[in-house]
Chains A and B, each alone.
Chain A
Amino acid sequence: MVAIQGFGYLGQALSSAEIVATMFGGGFVRRGQDKFVMSPGHYVIVLYAVAAELGLLSREELANYGKDAALLEAIGTERTPLFDLVCGSLGQGLSGAVGFALSARLKKSDARTYAFLSDGEMEEGQVWEAAMFAAHNKHRMGQLTVVIDANNSQVDGTVTFVTTIEPLVDKWRSFGWRVEEVDGHDVSALQAAFAKGPAAPEPLVIIARTEILGRMKSIPSTADGHFIKLDKDLERAVLKELEAALA
C-alpha cells in the first residue's frame, strides 16, 4: 500500500504488526462476537493488511489505499470497513470501548472488547477519564482488554522529547488496571499477555514496547516515522528486508 503510493503510515504498521497479528491471528478477537476499537485511525493501514490476510479484502482494494475515492482511506473514517470503531481524532477510542463493554453487559453478552491505543494518545485527558471509569469498583470491566503500542513516536518527534507520559505501568496500575508490559515485537510474549484478559474482574492493559520502524535496518533512523515517504531505492531495500525476514 505504501510502496504503491510512495508514502503513508508505514511506521505505525511496522510498530504494530505483531500486536495486531496476534490479536486477530492468535484467536483473541473473535470475529462477529467481540468488539474491536482502533483508537488512532492513522493505524488503519495495519487493519487493511489484516483484513486482506483474513480474506475479507481483496489485494486489488489494497492497491487503492489513500487514493481519491478509495474505500480504504489513509486515516480511519466511518467508511472504514470491517471493524467496530475506527477513530480519527485521537484519545477517544478507549471511551468507545467502554461504551461497547457496557452495552455488552446490558445485553448479557459475554463478548469481549479490545481497544488498540498508542502511547502518544496518553497525552489526551479523555484517555484517563475512560481509564478511571473502566476500573471503578461499580463497573470494573474484566471483559475489556487494551493494548498500547508504546513506540515512543508522535508527530513532533519522540514522545519523551515532547512530554513525559511515563511511568505508564505505574500510572495504569494506580488507576486500578491489571498491567502487562511486553516486547511488542515478540509474538509469544504478546500471546501470553492477551491470554490473561478474561482472568480477573479488572480490565487489562498490555503495554507493548515497540519501535516505530519495527526492527527494520533498511530505513534510516532519520526518517519521519509518523508519515514515511519511500523512494524507489528505499522501497526495494525495505521489500528485500521484509521478504528475507519472512523467508
Chain B
Amino acid sequence: MREPPFKTILKPYGEALLTLAQTRPEIVCLGADLTRQTETDIFRDAIPDRFLNVGMAEANMISIAGAMARDGHVVFVNTFGVFCTRRCYDQIAMSVAYPNVNVKIVGFMPGLSSPGGPSHQAIEDVALMRALPNMLVVDPADAIEVRQAVQAVADHPGPVYLRLKRGENPLIFDDDHKFSLKKAHVIRSHKSSDVCIIASGMMLPSALAATRILESKGLTVSIVNVPVIKPLDAETIIPIVQQSGVVVTAENHTIFGGLGSAVAEAMAEEGVPVPLHRVGIRDVFAESGSREYLFSKYGLSTQNILNAVWAGLHLNTPVPVAPVHKTTPGEYAPV
C-alpha cells in the first residue's frame, strides 16, 4: 500500500480497455458524446471500426448494446453515471439485465466527484443498479483496481455496472494487488477489534486515513475494501464485523441502497448485534463545487468517519481532528 498524498495516473480504464480489445475482437465500445471524458478517445483512434458514438441518446445506446450483445459481442457502454443509470433505467432492465447479456455499463463521475451539481452527480446509481437482477456493481478504489476490473468484468458473462472516477486516478495499491469479483479485500483484520471500517471507491482513502488516526489513539481497527458491492462478499465481511465494537461503512453515494445498505442487510440476516453507522450522502441532493467542499459539506470526509466511530463507541473524549493533506498537482489526498 502506498501513502497519501497518492500519485495519480490518467486513463487507466481507457488504456486497459484498449489493451484488452486488441486481443478480443468481440469487444465493442459505445459512447454518447463524451468520448474523451470517458477515456475512450484512445479506443476510437486505435480501433475505429469497433467504436460507435451514438450521440446524446442513452436509451437508444443501451438498447443497441443489448442487441449487439445478444448477437455475440461484449459491449462496453460509456457515459457519465447519471446518464447511464437514471436516464435509461427501463432500457437497462429490459435490454440488458433481464436477458442477462454481456453489456458492461461504465458510469463516470460517481457521487459528489463532479463539480457539476445534481444533474451530473450520480448519488444513487449503485442503489438503482443493485436492485436489478443479474447486475453486478463494481466501484473500484484506485487505478490498479480499475485496470484489473476491466479484465474481470469482460471475463464475466453478464451485465456489470462499473463506476469510475473521472480524470486523475490515485495509485493506492501496490502493483501486486489482486482485484476479485468474488472476494472483498481485507486490508487489515483482528480477532477482535474496536472498529471495523468498510469502504468502497473514492471513500477508501478517507477510510485509510481514519484508520491511521484511530490506531494512533490506541484503537484496533479492521478495514475492508469492498470494490464489488453486488454480490456483496458477506462470507468475508460477516466474521470480521461480528468481532467488532462498531461498524462504519463509507461510500461516495446516498446512504440508501448502496454499500451501507448492503452491509446492513447482510448483518441483519446473520443477526450480528453490532451497531452500524453509515457514512454517505444523507438523503439530499448536493450542489456545484469542488470535491473538497462537497465531500466536507455532505458528510464524505475522514472527519465524518471519525465522528461516526466516536458516536458508535459512545466515547466522551473529544473526537480527533483529521489532518488536512496538502497536495500538489497530480496528487490525490482524502478529504
Interface on A for B, CB 8 Å cutoff?
35, 37, 78, 84-85, 87-89, 92, 95-100, 102-104, 106-107, 125-126, 129-130, 132-133, 139
Residue of A35, A104, A106, A139 with most chain B CB atoms under a 10 A cut-off: A106
For A126, give its contact among B50, B55, B91 (CB under 8 Å). B91
For B55, give its contact among A97, A100, A107, A133 (CB under 8 Å). A133
B63 CB within 8 Å of chain A: yes
For A106, give its contact among B49, B57, B94 (CB under 8 Å). B49
- Residues of chain B within 8 A of A133, CB atoms compared: 54-55, 57, 60, 64
Q: Is the CB of B50 within 8 A of A99?
A: no
Residue of B49, B57, B66, B99 with most chain A CB atoms under a 10 A cut-off: B57
Interface 9-residue window, one of B67-75, B154-162, B173-181, B225-233: B67-75
Q: Is the CB of B52 within 8 A of A102?
A: yes
- Residues of chain B within 8 A of A97, CB atoms compared: 67
Binary contact readout B11-49 vs A (1 if CB under 8 angstroms, 0 otherwise):
000000000000000001000000000000000000001
Given known contacts A100-B70, A126-B91, A130-B64, what 9 new A-B pairs fall within 8 Å (CB)?
A92-B63, A95-B62, A98-B63, A106-B50, A126-B57, A126-B60, A130-B57, A133-B57, A133-B64
For A78, give its contact among B63, B73, B90, B98 (CB under 8 Å). B98
Q: Within the complex, what minimum Cβ distance (angstroms) separates A78 from chain B?
A: 5
Q: Is the CB of B60 within 8 A of A130?
A: yes
Q: Which residue in chain B gives the minimum CB-CB distance to A98?
A: B64
B65 CB within 8 Å of chain A: yes
Given A78-B98, A96-B95, A103-B72, is A89 in contact with B90 using a C-beta cutoff of 8 Å?
A: yes
For A89, give its contact among B54, B65, B73, B94 (CB under 8 Å). B94
Given A84-B70, A103-B68, A103-B73, is A92 in contact with B55 using a C-beta cutoff of 8 Å?
A: no
- Residues of chain A within 8 A of B67, CB atoms compared: 37, 85, 95-100, 103
B266 CB within 8 Å of chain A: no
B59 CB within 8 Å of chain A: yes
Q: Is the CB of B59 within 8 A of A129?
A: yes
- Residues of chain B within 8 A of A37, CB atoms compared: 67
- Please measure, in the bound complex, the distance between the C-alpha atom of A100 and the C-alpha atom of B95, giving whole angstroms: 13
Q: Which residue in chain A gives the minimum CB-CB distance to B26?
A: A106
- Residues of chain A within 8 A of B72, CB atoms compared: 103, 107
For A96, give its contact among B28, B55, B66, B98 (CB under 8 Å). B66
Q: Is the CB of A126 within 8 A of B70?
A: no
For A95, give its contact among B28, B50, B63 (CB under 8 Å). B63
Given A98-B67, A100-B71, A103-B67, is A92 in contact with B95 using a C-beta cutoff of 8 Å?
A: yes
Q: Is the interface of A mostly helix, strand, loop or mixed?
A: helix
Q: Is the CB of A87 within 8 A of B94?
A: yes
Q: Is the CB of B52 within 8 A of A126?
A: no
- Residues of chain A within 8 A of B94, CB atoms compared: 87-89, 92
Q: Which residue in chain A gives the minimum CB-CB distance to B53?
A: A138
Q: Within the complex, what minimum Cβ distance (angstroms) separates B304 from chain A?
A: 40
Q: Which residue in chain A gives the minimum CB-CB distance to B52?
A: A102
Q: Which residue in chain B gives the minimum CB-CB distance to A92?
A: B63
- Please measure, in the bound complex, the distance between the C-alpha atom of A84 and the C-alpha atom of B64, giving whole angstroms: 14
Q: Which residue in chain B gives the minimum CB-CB distance to A85?
A: B67
Q: Is the CB of A129 within 8 A of B52?
A: no
For B63, give its contact among A35, A106, A126 (CB under 8 Å). A126
Q: Is the CB of A95 within 8 A of B64?
A: yes
- Please measure, in the bound complex, the distance between the C-alpha atom of A35 and the C-alpha atom of B67, giving whole angstroms: 10
Q: Which residue in chain B gives the minimum CB-CB distance to A103?
A: B71
Q: Which residue in chain A gives the minimum CB-CB distance to B62?
A: A95
Chain B 243-279 interface residues, beta-carbon cutoff 8 Å to A? none
- Please measure, in the bound complex, the distance between the C-alpha atom of A37 and the C-alpha atom of B68, giving whole angstroms: 13
Q: Is the CB of A99 within 8 A of B91?
A: no
Would you give 11 A-B contacts (Cβ < 8 Å), ordered by A?
A: A78-B98, A84-B70, A92-B59, A92-B94, A96-B63, A99-B64, A99-B68, A99-B71, A103-B73, A130-B60, A133-B54
For B60, give its contact among A89, A98, A106 (CB under 8 Å). A98
Q: Which residue in chain B gives the minimum CB-CB distance to A37?
A: B67
Q: Within the complex, what minimum Cβ distance (angstroms) separates B125 from chain A?
A: 20
- Residues of chain A within 8 A of B57, CB atoms compared: 126, 129-130, 132-133
